[in-house]
Chains A and B, each alone.
Chain A
Amino acid sequence: MNLELTAGQRAARAEFRAFAAAEIAPHAGRWDREEAIPAGLIDELRRRGYLGSNVPRDFGGLGRDMITYGLLTEEIARACSSVRSLLTVHDMVAHAVHRWGSREQRERWLPAMARGEVLGALALSEPGAGSDAKSVETTAVDEGDAWVLDGRKKWTTFGQIAGLFLVLARAGDKPTAFLVERESPGLAVRPLKGITGTRASMLAEIALEGCRVPKENLLGRAGFGLSHVIAAALEQGRYSVAWGSVGIVQACLDASRAYAAERRQFGVPLADHQLIRRMLTGMIAGVRAARLLCLRAGWLRETGDPGAAGEVMVAKYFASTLATRAANDAVQIHGANGCSEEYPVGRYLRDSRVMEIIEGSTQIQQITIPLFELPEF
């Protein structure tokens, strides 16, 4: 494992950083208040190939290496976690289609997803099923020429605008994954508002009432929807959320350093106070450690190592819990200003809370990580 970025990866990061700083960060607070990101930004993400950038070249994608993919995620998250979450969920669906889709499904969906023409979203959680995904109550009944789905999905990130939902349902007692198009008869989308964090990620509730899905839209095999299809999507999502958490920590550090240099109390800048430096040190050391874990996980993913799934989970656990602590400290450093919308750190704190819940809560990871056989390094 080479710990240095290649010249190409550094150049890509510079491009991502410049774009995010100019086109996303200045507007992120407003989008957060408006609880939506504008269509024009999504067009620009499409144009730049930032959506579905994990899709291999064979299917029209950029086939970015896992490290460059992570750098993109970090830089976007550093500016706005809601925009990052669009990349996360879209790429989760693309990954699941690539990993377990038939040749026909890959050829049908991946080029459109790589172009960002079709936005993907994961419809897994339900009002009564979160961490316990096996307990989903949405049903799928084989009616010969189609599957008929009934149930209610909740907390579907970017469900308000997605064109393709990856839905987990029970076909009898078999967890089964389906690709459900937005225009499917019997599918209705209801926007969810007033979310604590990643407020601009356009969450929705998806009602499936006698929703007819073509037979060819079953992804993988009946009975393998959770253990393989959704598991693959979640592993991709955890990798994205790990890097996204690094982006939040870096943003907290950037904001805190700038504020501590400028703000004066007791006759000196905050940065001259030892207890402020202590909090800055926690962020500095933490972000570097979290980034190394992400690089390690990315390397294992890139090489197809069986240990990648465990390493990704460790990276997500470490980075997301760090993000909450860093954002909490960033607000503390900012004092009353940290509780004001004039500064971004309050948003970072709200966004960081989401990172500890999505794609496997902190507690699920705490009981799962010891079950992995992590590769030595």
Chain B
Amino acid sequence: MDETQTKIKEFLARFFKNHDLQPGEDIFALGFVNSLLAMQLVAFVEKEFGVAVGDEDLDLDNFRTIDAIAGLVARKRGAAA
């Protein structure tokens, strides 16, 4: 995993205790995803990676896995560059 993926994994580990979350693992399928995690995940992505998550990014597929979130970050960074 690269640095972005590792940071995302560390953040999600707070919510998925006792589970070694894999990069392609569907966090929605694991359960425990509610509006609390949803809000904190958006705030985490924005603060940690310096990108702005907007209404156009509201797609579950952008947040489904560590890889998907890392992909969103990469696209947002690319768009901002």
A309 to B41, CA, bound (A): 11
Of the stretches B18-26, B31-39, B64-72, B73-81, the one at the interface is B31-39
Tell me, rounded to whole Å, the shortest Cβ–Cβ distance linking A290 to chain B.
22
Cβ of A309 and Cβ of B55 under 8 Å apart? no
Cβ of A101 and Cβ of B55 under 8 Å apart? yes
With both beta carbons as reference points, the residue of chain B lying nearest to A102 in the complex is identified as B55
With A101-B55, A221-B55: A306-B43 Cβ-Cβ less than 8 Å: yes
Tell me, rounded to whole Å, the shortest Cβ–Cβ distance linking A36 to chain B.
34
Residues of the A chain whose Cβ atoms lie less than 8 Å from the Cβ of B54:
100, 102
With A224-B58, A306-B43: A368-B38 Cβ-Cβ less than 8 Å: no
Tell me, rounded to whole Å, the shortest Cβ–Cβ distance linking B76 to chain A.
15
Chain B, interface SS category: helix
Which of B11, B36, B56, B60 has most chain A Cβ within 10 Å? B36
A220 to B55, CA, bound (A): 5
Partner pick for A368 among B36, B40, B55, CB 8 A cutoff: B36
A368 to B36, CA, bound (A): 9
Cβ of A231 and Cβ of B58 under 8 Å apart? no
Cβ of A228 and Cβ of B38 under 8 Å apart? yes
Cβ of B36 and Cβ of A306 under 8 Å apart? no
- In chain A, positions 356-377 with a C-beta closer than 8 Å to chain B are 368, 371-373
Cβ of B58 and Cβ of A304 under 8 Å apart? no
Tell me, rounded to whole Å, the shortest Cβ–Cβ distance linking A218 to chain B.
9
- In chain A, positions 209-268 with a C-beta closer than 8 Å to chain B are 219-221, 223-224, 226-228, 231-232, 235
Whether A44 is near chain B, meaning CB under 8 Å from some CB there, is no
A305 to B44, CA, bound (A): 7
Cβ of A227 and Cβ of B47 under 8 Å apart? no
Partner pick for B38 among A221, A231, A303, A372, CB 8 A cutoff: A231
Cβ of B35 and Cβ of A228 under 8 Å apart? yes
Cβ of A221 and Cβ of B59 under 8 Å apart? yes
Cβ of B43 and Cβ of A308 under 8 Å apart? yes
With A227-B38, A228-B42: A306-B47 Cβ-Cβ less than 8 Å: yes
Cβ of B36 and Cβ of A226 under 8 Å apart? no
Whether A191 is near chain B, meaning CB under 8 Å from some CB there, is no
Residues of the B chain whose Cβ atoms lie less than 8 Å from the Cβ of A220:
55, 58
Tell me, rounded to whole Å, the shortest Cβ–Cβ distance linking A158 to chain B.
25
With both beta carbons as reference points, the residue of chain B lying nearest to A105 in the complex is identified as B55
Cβ of B47 and Cβ of A226 under 8 Å apart? no
Q: What 0/1 readout, one digit per residue, does chain A (273-311) give for beta carbons within 8 Å of chain B? A: 000000000000000000000000000000111111110
Cβ of A228 and Cβ of B58 under 8 Å apart? yes
Tell me, rounded to whole Å, the shortest Cβ–Cβ distance linking B27 to chain A.
14
What class of interface size applies to chain A in its complex with B? 20 to 34
Cβ of B35 and Cβ of A231 under 8 Å apart? yes
A157 to B57, CA, bound (A): 31
A368 to B11, CA, bound (A): 19
Partner pick for A309 among B11, B43, B46, B58, CB 8 A cutoff: B43
Cβ of B47 and Cβ of A305 under 8 Å apart? yes
Q: What 0/1 readout, one digit per residue, does chain B (1-35) give for beta carbons within 8 Å of chain A? A: 00000000001001100000000000000000011
A178 to B42, CA, bound (A): 21
A27 to B72, CA, bound (A): 53
Cβ of A100 and Cβ of B36 under 8 Å apart? no
Cβ of A221 and Cβ of B58 under 8 Å apart? yes
A227 to B59, CA, bound (A): 12
Tell me, rounded to whole Å, the shortest Cβ–Cβ distance linking B34 to chain A.
8
Cβ of A304 and Cβ of B46 under 8 Å apart? yes
Residues of the B chain whose Cβ atoms lie less than 8 Å from the Cβ of A368:
36
With both beta carbons as reference points, the residue of chain B lying nearest to A313 in the complex is identified as B36
Partner pick for B35 among A100, A223, A226, CB 8 A cutoff: A226
Which of A101, A303, A306, A308 has most chain B Cβ within 10 Å? A306
Residues of the A chain whose Cβ atoms lie less than 8 Å from the Cβ of B40:
306-307, 309-310, 372-373
> Which 9 interchain pairs have the tightest Cβ spacing?
A221-B58, A306-B43, A306-B44, A227-B35, A373-B14, A306-B40, A231-B35, A304-B47, A224-B58
Could you list 5 examples of A-B contacts with CB < 8 Å?
A221-B59, A227-B38, A303-B47, A306-B11, A309-B40
- A-B contact sample (10 more), CB < 8 A, given A221-B58, A228-B38, A373-B14: A100-B55, A221-B55, A226-B35, A227-B38, A228-B42, A304-B43, A308-B43, A309-B39, A310-B36, A310-B40
